[in-house]
Structure 1
Amino acid sequence: MKQLVAGFLGALVVCLALIAPAQAEVRKDTLALQDNYPKTYVVVKGDTLWDISGMFLKSPWKWPQLWGYNQQIDNPHLIYPGDILTLKWVDGQPRLVLNDGIIRLSPKAKVTRLKDAIPAIPLKDINSFLSDNIVMDSDELTGAPYIVGGTTQRIVAGAGDRVYARGVLVGDYSRQNIYRPAKEYIDPVTDEHLGFEMFKIGDAVVANKKGDIISLDLRKTREEVSALDRVYPSPKESIQSVFYPKGPEDEINGRILSVLRGVRQAGQYDVVAINQGMREGLSPGHVLTIFRAGEVLKDPLTNELITLPTEESGMLMIFKAYDKVSYALILKATDIVSIGDEVHSPE
């Protein structure tokens, strides 16, 4: 009998030893919740998944873990104003469930327009940048056809006018965009040329081609088209409109190159360019932490110059990545974001 009990206790100890690491791992992976997180929340118009997740999580970019294992929210992009979200615990992990997890059958059909669904991030703040700004490297810029002039020797032209370009079109596309170089991106650390920011000023239709001379009819313009503006087709890739924030797989250490719209400082929902791109492993949806560069001050006692430490000042999400440059939306800003601020992989 004693041998039987001893054997049973030994087996129990082995089982507990096997279970303990798994339980420890669950505790380790448990999402950090806000101290004052709500038990339930009613979705309202204007919400985003980022905003909602920020009410519950200290790290909102981890929201897929909060929603991802919920069978009722297979696509968390498809929740709507009026939906009730409830925080539950599933296998030791916090999970958001829809309408308290209760499914009620009804003979009525609820028809909701897809465009009313709650987006992951505020798309309205990046819509114009999804198609209006591109980055070209030196070879692309040099090889793109350029405007030589308009009819009746006009130097500038607008919508409804015909202009002429010289060069070889990229691909056989009837619709082309007119771009103007806005600035050259230079890496602030290595002085490497990263590319040219190109700003779309209009779109056109190819009317005729004769040799290397291209006739273009301008359809829409936001500025007057002039000599040396470049002709380039719309980006071949489909424009991504659904973003799921996540941390990058590789360590990222970069800088903010510019604040789009021609200013030097930015805040929440402004768009910035950074000196990291696809070659560093970045892609749309990757989230980075922003650190404000420490100011240089003079020590009032010794008169020596000292540099203050960098301080975390916000978070951004990549929505458009090129080889060496990426465009990102600032999702959170606790301080002013400036050119030269550092960006790193989130902890």
Structure 2
Amino acid sequence: MKKFIVGVMAISALFVCSWTQAAELRDDHPEFHIVQPGDTLWDISEAFLKSPWLWPEIWHVNEQVDNPHLIFPGDVLALVYIDGQPRITKTNRLPNGTVKLSPQVRELSRGQAITTIPLDAILPFLVSARVVSEEELQHAPYVVAGDEGRLANAADNKVYVRGIIEPEVSKFAFYRRGETYIDPDTGEELGVEALHLGAGVKIRSGDPSTIRIEDSVAEVLRGDRIWPTNDEQLRPYYFPHAPTSEVDATIISVYDGVIQIGQYDVVVINRGERDGIEVGHVLTVHQRGKQVEDPYAKDNKNVNEDGSVKRFFKALVNSKDTVTLPDEEAGTMMIFRTFDKVSLGLVLKAQRPLHVMDKAKTPY
């Protein structure tokens, strides 16, 4: 509960901070929008704004009501002007001018509010994604054996685990070593991906403890690691916003092993909490410029700066002149999970195919 309150306070702070960018309306923006089931805040913001991450600048709420920033299906959003500036606000007036009558008591839970992005696209990663250091992996509790001598264990099987130092914890998730993330710019090891195998509950404490596997997406083997699960991560509230400082990151991995990255794919970037990356940061993805052969450079004095000796040796080894094309803006992503040195982002839009090694930068 404490984490939820802190999260809401952080989100609310975004609405009162000063932005260096001005929210600019789309040319084809609507005057009203009736919120439908399945809408996301990102979709609505895209309908009104050229830069959807600037929604906090244009959103106008009644601070006297509970949870004023939450939007529910059925709400009517209207574009109004306050002191000459465009604002989006809730209204009870429908686009045709009639007044929408609402019950005097409207009991809606936070869970019924629209989400900022499609929650089903990131929910598995909120629950299971984990990046750890080599030391954390080495010293994590581990499966020493399966019940009845089983080598591979699945749902409803029992396994025996050593190294649990939090006796009050009862719910755990199983993991196995995955990819080691390396910074392509510095060569630094950024962490190890922990592959999620399933979840279980402790039914007997001791050394070893006994854990019953409740669900599994892969077989649990000897040597696999476990960590406590965190139920508070199941229903987070995100709000997209631009970083306040320059971010120059690189996509270093993509989940599900796809080659071409598209909308709603989850990627890993080589920047994390230590670099100031926050949940909700929106980054522009730039397709890295290719290196292409330039057969015309050698004959153009304005391009070719090689001396005669260098040109001779290049010809001797049949070295070709090349040029690196500029990076091109190709999409938008939002950070939804951060670790110390890396972060996970959801691709919200891809104008062209994205790839590992493409850049992710502060939007302008």
* TM-score normalized with structure 2 length: 0.80
Q: Note closer, same or farther for the CA distance 1:273–1:94 as it changes in structure 2 (3 Å cut).
A: same
- After TM superposition, the structure 1 = structure 2 runs for residues 282-321 of structure 1, keeping only pairs within 5 Å, are 282-302=277-297, 303-321=320-338
Q: Which residue of 1 aligns with 2:87?
A: 95
Change over 3 Å in CA distance of 1:105–1:202 after alignment to 2:
closer
**Which position in structure 2 is the counterpart of 1:191?**
187
Output the CA distance in 2 between the equivalents of 1:214 and 1:140. Answer: 20
Percent identity between matched residues is 41
Sort the Cα spacing of 1:338 and 1:173 in 2 relative to 1 into closer, same or farther, 3 A. Answer: same
Q: Secondary structure at the match of 1:265?
A: coil
CA contact (8 A) 1:269 1:329 kept: yes
- Contact 2:250 / 2:359 at 8 angstroms: preserved in 1? yes
What is the distance in 2 between the residues matched to 1:221 and 1:106? Answer: 45
Partner residue in 1 for 2:221? 226
- Give the Å deviation of 1:215: 2.3
Q: Cα deviation per residue 1:286-305 (whole Å; 9 max; x = unaligned)?
A: 11111110112122435522
Amino acid at match of 2:258: V
Which residue of the other structure, out of 23, 26, 29, is the alignment partner of 1:37?
29
**1:330 correspondence with 2:347:** yes
User: Matches of 2:237 and 2:46 in 1, distance apart?
Assistant: 18
1:256 matched residue in structure 2: 251
Alignment of 1:1-347 (within 5 A): 30-69=22-61, 75=67, 77-99=69-91, 108-112=104-108, 114-169=110-165, 172-211=168-207, 213-235=208-230, 238-239=233-234, 241-302=236-297, 303-347=320-364
Measured against aligned partners, the alpha-carbon deviations of 1:198-224 in whole angstroms (never above 9, x if no partner) come to 12211122233444x332221211111
Supply the distance in 1 between the matched residues of 2:67 and 2:206 (Cα, whole angstroms): 51
Q: Distance in 2 between matches of 1:138 and 1:90?
A: 54
Asked whether the 8 Å contact 2:60–2:89 carries over to 1, the reply is no
CA apart distance, 1:250:
2.7
Q: Kindly tell me: are residues 336 and 76 of structure 1, through their superposed partners in 2, closer, same or farther at Cα, counting changes over 3 Å?
A: farther
In the TM superposition, residue 269 of structure 1 has moved relative to its aligned partner by: 1.4
CA 1:172–1:112: 2 relative to 1, 3 Å: closer
Q: Aligned equivalents of 1:52 and 1:165: distance in 2?
A: 48
Q: Match for 2:194: what amino acid?
A: M
Instruction: Give the letter for the 1:39 counterpart.
Output: E
Give deviations 1:291-325, integer Å, cap 9, x for gaps.
Answer: 11011212243552221100111111111111001
Distance 1:330 1:29, change over 3 A: closer
Unaligned runs of 5+ in 2: 1-17, 298-319
Stretch of structure 1 that moved more, 322-331 or 170-179: 170-179
1:53-95: per-residue Cα shift (whole Å, max 9, x none)? 1111111001011114555887465323333222111123210
Larger radius of gyration: 1
Query: Which structure ranks higher in relative contact order (CA pairs < 8 Å, sequence separation ≥ 6)?
Result: 2
C-alpha distance in 1 between matches for 2:62 and 2:139: 50
Closer, same or farther: CA 159–236 of 1 in aligned 2, 3 Å: closer
The 1:264–1:131 alpha-carbon spacing in structure 2 relative to 1, beyond 3 Å, is same
The whole-number CA distance in structure 2 between the counterparts of 1:75 and 1:66 is 17
Deviation at 1:194, TM superposition (A): 0.7
Taking only aligned residues, the RMSD between alpha carbons, in angstroms, comes to 2.6
Deviation at 1:147, TM superposition (A): 1.7
Deviation at 1:112, TM superposition (A): 4.8
TM-fit CA distance, 1:98: 1.9
Structure 2 SS opposite 1:159: coil
**TM-score, length basis structure 1:** 0.83
Distance in 1 between residues matched to 2:38 and 2:187, nearest whole Å: 42
